[in-house]
Amino acid sequence: MATKNLTTEEFENAISGEGITLVDFWADWCGPCKMFAPIYEQASETHDDITFAKVDTEAEQQLAAQLQITAIPTLMAFRDGILVFSQAGALPAKSLEELVQGVKGLDMEDVRKQIAEHQATHSH
């Protein structure tokens, strides 16, 4: 499955569903983004059970600002609508594969429990 370009309008819908969605925030002028693109594309071919999406930060400046993207490339991983990973910097293929396996291996019941506990102790 190839990568899918996301617009601001499509973003919420793309990340909120069941399963895993990876989102690569990039720009055409960004050298590291261009180096990471084929690695990301190759991973999308390997893992057809994951949605691989891309957001052009130049075209979608409002979305990038809302998500506080301050450096690119930035990779975000969502599972069942929950942000479980966010990091700036191009990943080598091995690290991207480790990330994918880590997200697949998450115990989402435990993640939801941790979020609930965090919100309970940090409510205002």
For the whole prediction, is pTM greater than 0.75?
A: yes
* pLDDT per residue as tens, the chain (124 positions): 578 999 999 999 999 989 999 999 999 999 999 999 999 999 999 999 999 999 999 999 999 999 999 999 999 999 999 999 999 999 999 999 999 999 999 999 999 999 999 889 886 5
Q: What is the number of structural domains in the chain?
A: 1
Q: Which residue has the tokens 């942000």?
A: 83
Per DSSP, what are the bridge partners of residue 81? none
In the residue annotation, 72 being an active-site residue is answered as: no
CATH number of the structural domain spanning residue 54? 3.40.30.10
Task: For residue 33, give its domain range.
Answer: 4-122
In the residue annotation, 74 being an active-site residue is answered as: no
DSSP annotation of 65: H
Per DSSP, what are the bridge partners of residue 78? 21, 83
User: Which position among 6, 22, 33, 50 bears the catalytic label?
Assistant: 33
User: Which position among 6, 22, 23, 30 bears the catalytic label?
Assistant: 30
